[in-house]
Structure 1
Amino acid sequence: MTQHKLFMGLEDDRLLKPFRQRAGLPAPGADMGGWYDDSADFHFDPKDLSTVNWHGYIPGHSFGQYVSGLSRYVAATGDEETRAKVRDLVVQYAETISPRFFAGYLLPAYTYDKIVIGLIDAYRYAGVEEARDALDKVTDAVLPSLPDKPLTRQERRQRPYSSEAEIWDEPYTLPENLFLAWRLGLGERYRTLAVRYLQDEALFDPLARGESPLAGRHAYSHVNALNSAIQAWYATGDEKYLRAARNGFDFVLQQSFATGGWGPNEQLIGPDDHETLLKTLTSTHNSFETPCGAYGHFKIARSLLQITKDPRYGDSMERVLYNTILGAKDTTPDGKTFYYSDYSDTASKFYRDELWPCCSGTFLQLAADYGISAYLREGRRIYVNLYIPSTLSTDIEGATVQIRQETRYPLDAQVNFLVTPGQAGQFSLMLRIPAWAGPASRILVNDRPAGVAARPGAFAELDRIWRAGDRVTLRLDITPRLEPLNAAHPEVVALLTGPLVLFPIGHSEIQMTRAQWLSVRRRGDGHWAASSPTGERVLKPFAFIDDEPYRLYGRLAES
């Protein structure tokens, strides 16, 4: 079942129930369960984790993300049934808004942030005019419950609190969507609020100086906060925020696994910490908070790609796409959600125990965003960032242009494009050549050499007068390669082919020479094999792993 179909099938009454309950209104329909319910069952005692009960943790927390994801589907497809559901949800939600919802609420900034993006997307993508008034109304309702500044968790701990969970609120993520509301013309108040919650002293100032304050910080929310820096740069023009976003993202890349995932146990690490990642291979199964992490990663990488046109950001998106979220287990109708990717030496795929956690919302948003991540436009240039079967319809200087992309990449090394302009016209097609691409990579136009080099780590520009029926062929040179865990542990390696990490199947230790690792050969779709000292070892990309045991890393033996 697709993410879209799943959420279209959820009854409005279930989605709206916690809001109606907290407003004192009739609340028909079944409970959603898990985090989503309005329940007094939630209990968290850091001194006795055996008593934890997550039921009712954050009532209605992901509603805004569900509305956002459905609205983005409308933008991508024009589907009227989805548009109608978005409108119904927004109109009915607006009837429940009052300060009562946020009174005594554990994470008011966290849930308000998600409601903001849901209402923004309903307004701009689904054309729901009522979302504008609803945004003003919920902002009035939440303000008495928000802190006066973007408190860090350490600062929040210095203030009175009744539950450990109150420490986990994330006001420092608010500026991104508040700036977006302001940029859409929804009111000056949103710019003012956004500026109030910029975490300059604790986060953006040191990042802008090239210093990392990330060690020990909650992983997803602080990577996602880099998107607030991007929006602050757009809104204010202050280069500090762009430097902070770029440096912060680089610090994240430095501590990433070969898959592109990061934040084991939802914690970031420092730039000089070379041991934590290694220890997590034997100490945790919670390696990467996948739907949330991939969603935040895609947003910041996409923005930096748009601003800088540096293809390494596209390389990063591609790596996260194929090695994390595309291999996630589907959300089930009862709310079981894939949450963590497991990169341990005894890894498996599993659902989080609690129903409808945060990743249920970002999974839907991310699934709707593939199109905007695949292509970028700037003037007469069309950038192809992701090689996925798709069709782009756009216009250049008033003339329509359609580009159809056909490929089985990365299982196949060839990508085919059919260019169909409404009339002959000149523009540039920019193809991202991954940094790992080998020297035999080639570009053809109408079966002839394009005369443009496929230089790794660059965009190849095909600037010409295009006519209907023109064909472009990109052939990437893909060869196996090894990547170490980090510079301190070159003997701990992952095997990649193109953007795909190949995971050894089984939990038994794997130690091979470089030649043995690189002897890997494809045996079929999603199935590779290498010759090890103990016999043939099967390896698979993440998306092809089902319930079998696997591991991410092996050891490099001396030749």
Structure 2
Amino acid sequence: MRIKQAAQAFALGEVKLLEGPFKHAMETNRRYLLELEPDRLLARFREYAGLEPRAPQYGGWEAESLSGHTLGHYLSACSMMYSSLAEAEFKERVDYITDELELCQNKHGDGYVSGIPRGKEVFHEVASGNIQSKGFDLNGAWAPLYTLHKLFAGLRDAYRLTGNEKALVVERKLADWVEGILAPLSTEQMEEMMICEYGGMNEVLADLYADTNEYKYLTLAEKFWHKLVLDPLAEHVDCLPGKHANTQIPKLIGLAKEYEWTSDEKRRDTAEFFWNSVVHHHSYANGGNSFGEYFGDADSFNDRLGPQTTETCNTYNMLKLTKHLFEWKASAAEADYYERALFNHILASQHPESGGMTYFLSLAMGGHKIFDDKFDDFTCCIGTGMESQASYGSAIYFKGEDQLFVNQFIHSELAWTEKGVTLLQETEYPLDDVIGLKLSCAKPVQFSLNIRYPGWAEQGVSVEINGEPIAVDQSPGSFIAINRLWIDGDLIRVVIPKSLRLEAMADNADRAAIFYGPVLLAGDLGSHDDPHASEYLYAPVLLAKEKPLDTWLEAVPGKSLAFQSKLVGYPRNVELAPFYQMVDRSYTVYWDLFTPDGWAIAEADYRKVMEKMQRLEQCTIDYAQPGEMQPERDHDFKGDSSTRVGMLNRRPFRMAGQGGWFSFDLKVKPENEMMLVVTYTSAQEMPNCEFDVCLNGELLTEVEEGFTEEDKFYNVNFPLPAAALAGAEKVTVTFQGKEGKRIRRVFGLRIVDREQYKQLGVQSDSI
């Protein structure tokens, strides 16, 4: 039996977005979805069912062993668009894809359907007890359960949002096939299998139970309790540091779904603890989390800024989890976080003209947004981006028992059909402080209108009903509840004054982001391809420590939400604007704050560190980050089943077990002297490590000391033989464990120009 919820979201079709940035983003996404060709997304589904593809497959991840994941996202996004807009073309696409999936499933004859290379073979190996994973793969296939989760979710949404009954039939048959695959596995074997990312399999199976009332699907969902992660979280132990972030979040969404159908308080408590840990101890100013896809230590951000901050998939999934928590208790804390992440990450992640989406949303000081290619990348964040940009109406309003919650301030119209009420929300928020709410109803209706009082609203909130002020007794971070008999034409006017504030990093009080109300501000540093972007102090420091914000930031006349720094920027002052508006620009959202005297002392050391790192980047030909999914794929990572990933001092690594091996391909410039720089740690190492480093299969024997870094990291240099580089554009670097010996943790591989590298002039104390 489903739990009693404090609030419930409205259907997408009951909320209409009106003119504003969210409608624009949704319309941009609408055009993109209609540009995509379903037959190209279906190509491998047909191929692996023994049918001739009707069109060539897309490239990017769709040409790799994750193929098929995008089709699931696309099916969900088209279903959401149809539910929101009632446009027949989206329904036609959903129906066509479902028909094709049914055809492929029938051709297989056993319930199986997917676009995964060797998919059926891999799952049969797993069913036989042959389970191998190097962290991101299962028996050589890239996260096949993750891909199946997307297909399950797409079929679920096709059924729920468009009424396609056939989608439920296909989904059930596929679930029955998965049940057969997993039936022979012991708890230990399930645990071994779940080392590989499996998305939200527990979520979609719990949903299938809800749609069919067949208890076996809930039982199957509950098998996906990953003890390695969920047991510590259930004991309120933050085990997230060093773990791949987007692998974990869907597991907790699944627990939330299971709780809603089982009333199991352990699942609810685990999900709530996880949410609080991520939001309050692992999230950046924009509401996003992770660096290079991984969680770091709690409250550790200072050394985790760069182009690979805040993977967009993570925030998509955190917002899904946030909706569940809000529905359980109708707390303004969840609605406040939702606003932060919605405006400052999700809205900020789409190019407003091209419709491209970010994989990582860079928070680097002097960084810029990098948008995936819409037709040749097909990363996970393009898939979740399709859904995010199609579902903005999903969390603006919620309903309870004789209650209506206004959670987000977005120009929109709500049809509350059960009450016969239409609510028109007119606002240019966040450009303006005023929110107007107009009620229309055929007859008077009694209910409590609950308007969010944002936690950031330190200057208070004023509310008028039909021109008459009412007392607001609530505090920031709550709801203003107005319980009365509402009549047709009632007008509510809400004014929420915004103010400037600093939000310091938890681990560095002198590095902070600047907000204006809910809006994260970014300093505009110039074009995204500015040739000066690599120069020292391109992102200025602010000599404004201990000064009130309003004494050194002033509004720019004629520009909404734009501010100019005054006499505090070193070496220059800058204009700040909303982060979500930053497109094709270099920017910074975090600022180092100094007093003038403090900067005079710090500048020498600051300059030395920054110049050293810049010179290192200038002499780098290629860099591979072990232990991060996309960099490893970009460098054609290979390895045996003993390799593992992890994190130490906020940096990911890869290692291998006894006799194990792994390799990376790295670019070179054979006309110059090249050197391989490998980063290790002097922290306590795994025992029994002894291994060779090889170039194109030949042992590298010449070794030099490299420079020592912070946090116990140091480098070892391998000059590369000129003969091995002749005519080559790339080389293969292999780490090979000696018999019975391990490979130690490797934190980075860098190919550098040897002569330029020597100019760094930094030596380590020891190897």
* Same fold flag (TM > 0.5): yes
The 1:67–1:14 alpha-carbon spacing in structure 2 relative to 1, beyond 3 Å, is: same
Residue in 2 that maps onto 1:416: 436
Residue in 2 that maps onto 1:70: 78
* Higher alpha-carbon Rg: 2
The 1:352–1:76 alpha-carbon spacing in structure 2 relative to 1, beyond 3 Å, is: closer
**Contact 1:132–1:186, Cα closer than 8 Å, also in 2:** no
**Residue type at the aligned position of 1:311:** A
**Contact 2:541–2:591, Cα closer than 8 Å, also in 1:** yes
Give the stretch that moved more between structures: 238-247 or 431-440.
Answer: 431-440
What SS class does the counterpart of residue 42 from structure 2 fall into? Answer: helix
What SS class does the counterpart of residue 472 from structure 1 fall into? Answer: strand
Give the stretch that moved more between structures: 366-375 or 145-154.
Answer: 145-154
The 1:414–1:512 alpha-carbon spacing in structure 2 relative to 1, beyond 3 Å, is: farther
**Contact 1:176–1:194, Cα closer than 8 Å, also in 2:** yes
What SS class does the counterpart of residue 89 from structure 1 fall into? Answer: helix
* 2:514 pairs with 1:495: yes
The 1:541–1:311 alpha-carbon spacing in structure 2 relative to 1, beyond 3 Å, is: same
The 1:332–1:521 alpha-carbon spacing in structure 2 relative to 1, beyond 3 Å, is: closer
Instruction: State the 4+ residue runs in structure 1 displaced beyond 6 angstroms.
Output: 149-154
* 2:143 pairs with 1:107: yes
Residue in 1 that maps onto 2:307: 285
Residue in 1 that maps onto 2:253: 227
Residue of 276, 293, 296 corresponding to 1:250: 276
Residue of 539, 560, 564 corresponding to 1:529: 564
* 2:402 pairs with 1:380: yes
Residue of 456, 468, 493 corresponding to 1:436: 456
**Contact 2:462–2:494, Cα closer than 8 Å, also in 1:** yes
The 1:100–1:494 alpha-carbon spacing in structure 2 relative to 1, beyond 3 Å, is: closer
Residue in 1 that maps onto 2:577: 540
Residue of 29, 33, 44 corresponding to 2:59: 33
In the alignment, the residues of structure 2 paired with residue 293 and residue 368 of structure 1 have an alpha-carbon distance, to the nearest angstrom, of 17
The 1:286–1:144 alpha-carbon spacing in structure 2 relative to 1, beyond 3 Å, is: farther
* 2:488 pairs with 1:453: no
Shift of 1:89: 0.9
**Contact 1:112–1:142, Cα closer than 8 Å, also in 2:** no
Residue of 252, 259, 271 corresponding to 2:286: 259
1:246-265, CA deviations, whole angstroms, 9 ceiling, x for partnerless residues? 11011101121111111111
Residue in 2 that maps onto 1:120: 156
What SS class does the counterpart of residue 574 from structure 2 fall into? Answer: strand
**Contact 1:315–1:435, Cα closer than 8 Å, also in 2:** yes
**Residue type at the aligned position of 1:522:** A
Shift of 1:36: 1.1
Residue of 547, 553, 568 corresponding to 1:515: 547
The 1:218–1:322 alpha-carbon spacing in structure 2 relative to 1, beyond 3 Å, is: same
1:282-340, CA deviations, whole angstroms, 9 ceiling, x for partnerless residues? xx3110111x122101111111111111101111010011111111234998x964211
**Residue type at the aligned position of 1:343:** L
**Contact 1:444–1:472, Cα closer than 8 Å, also in 2:** yes
**Contact 1:441–1:454, Cα closer than 8 Å, also in 2:** no
Written as runs of structure 1 = structure 2, the 5 A alignment for 1:266-277 is 266-271=293-298, 274-275=299-300, 277=301
**Contact 2:344–2:579, Cα closer than 8 Å, also in 1:** yes
Give the stretch that moved more between structures: 81-90 or 5-14.
Answer: 5-14
* 2:488 pairs with 1:468: yes
RMSD (Å) for aligned C-alpha atoms:
2.4
The 1:495–1:153 alpha-carbon spacing in structure 2 relative to 1, beyond 3 Å, is: farther
**Contact 1:202–1:213, Cα closer than 8 Å, also in 2:** no
1:460-519, CA deviations, whole angstroms, 9 ceiling, x for partnerless residues? 001111111111111112110111111x31111111111111112223222232436444
In the alignment, the residues of structure 2 paired with residue 154 and residue 119 of structure 1 have an alpha-carbon distance, to the nearest angstrom, of 27
**Contact 1:108–1:145, Cα closer than 8 Å, also in 2:** no
Give the stretch that moved more between structures: 2-11 or 23-32.
Answer: 2-11
In the alignment, the residues of structure 1 paired with residue 176 and residue 210 of structure 2 have an alpha-carbon distance, to the nearest angstrom, of 19
What SS class does the counterpart of residue 444 from structure 1 fall into? Answer: strand
The 1:458–1:337 alpha-carbon spacing in structure 2 relative to 1, beyond 3 Å, is: closer
Shift of 1:8: 2.3
User: TM-score when scaled to structure 2?
Assistant: 0.65
* 2:165 pairs with 1:129: yes
* 2:361 pairs with 1:328: no
Residue of 192, 195, 201 corresponding to 2:219: 192
**Residue type at the aligned position of 1:530:** S
Identify, as 1 or 2, the structure richer in strand: 2
What SS class does the counterpart of residue 495 from structure 1 fall into? Answer: strand
Shift of 1:149: 7.0
**Contact 2:366–2:587, Cα closer than 8 Å, also in 1:** yes
In the alignment, the residues of structure 2 paired with residue 540 and residue 321 of structure 1 have an alpha-carbon distance, to the nearest angstrom, of 17
Identify, as 1 or 2, the structure richer in helix: 1
In the alignment, the residues of structure 1 paired with residue 592 and residue 331 of structure 2 have an alpha-carbon distance, to the nearest angstrom, of 33
Shift of 1:544: 1.4
Give the stretch that moved more between structures: 523-532 or 245-254.
Answer: 523-532
**Contact 1:329–1:337, Cα closer than 8 Å, also in 2:** yes
The 1:169–1:536 alpha-carbon spacing in structure 2 relative to 1, beyond 3 Å, is: closer
Residue in 2 that maps onto 1:138: 174
In the alignment, the residues of structure 1 paired with residue 587 and residue 248 of structure 2 have an alpha-carbon distance, to the nearest angstrom, of 29
**Contact 2:246–2:293, Cα closer than 8 Å, also in 1:** yes
User: TM-score when scaled to structure 1?
Assistant: 0.88
What SS class does the counterpart of residue 550 from structure 1 fall into? Answer: strand
**Contact 2:437–2:492, Cα closer than 8 Å, also in 1:** yes
**Contact 2:45–2:113, Cα closer than 8 Å, also in 1:** no
**Residue type at the aligned position of 2:554:** R
Give the stretch that moved more between structures: 203-212 or 539-548.
Answer: 203-212
Residue in 1 that maps onto 2:323: 302
Gaps of 5+ in 2: 1-26, 123-140, 526-537, 597-767
In the alignment, the residues of structure 2 paired with residue 134 and residue 8 of structure 1 have an alpha-carbon distance, to the nearest angstrom, of 24
In the alignment, the residues of structure 1 paired with residue 250 and residue 286 of structure 2 have an alpha-carbon distance, to the nearest angstrom, of 19
**Contact 2:179–2:220, Cα closer than 8 Å, also in 1:** no
Residue in 2 that maps onto 1:555: 592
1:130-176, CA deviations, whole angstroms, 9 ceiling, x for partnerless residues? 0111112222444566694788999459xxxxxxxxx64326x3111
The 1:156–1:194 alpha-carbon spacing in structure 2 relative to 1, beyond 3 Å, is: closer
Shift of 1:373: 0.7
Shift of 1:267: 0.6
The 1:413–1:337 alpha-carbon spacing in structure 2 relative to 1, beyond 3 Å, is: closer
**Contact 2:540–2:573, Cα closer than 8 Å, also in 1:** no
In the alignment, the residues of structure 1 paired with residue 406 and residue 97 of structure 2 have an alpha-carbon distance, to the nearest angstrom, of 35
Gaps of 5+ in 1: 38-55, 158-166
The 1:150–1:113 alpha-carbon spacing in structure 2 relative to 1, beyond 3 Å, is: farther
**Contact 2:28–2:353, Cα closer than 8 Å, also in 1:** no
Residue of 495, 498, 510 corresponding to 1:478: 498
Residue in 2 that maps onto 1:160: none
Shift of 1:243: 0.9
In the alignment, the residues of structure 2 paired with residue 221 and residue 317 of structure 1 have an alpha-carbon distance, to the nearest angstrom, of 21
Counting matched residue pairs gives: 520
In the alignment, the residues of structure 2 paired with residue 151 and residue 69 of structure 1 have an alpha-carbon distance, to the nearest angstrom, of 36
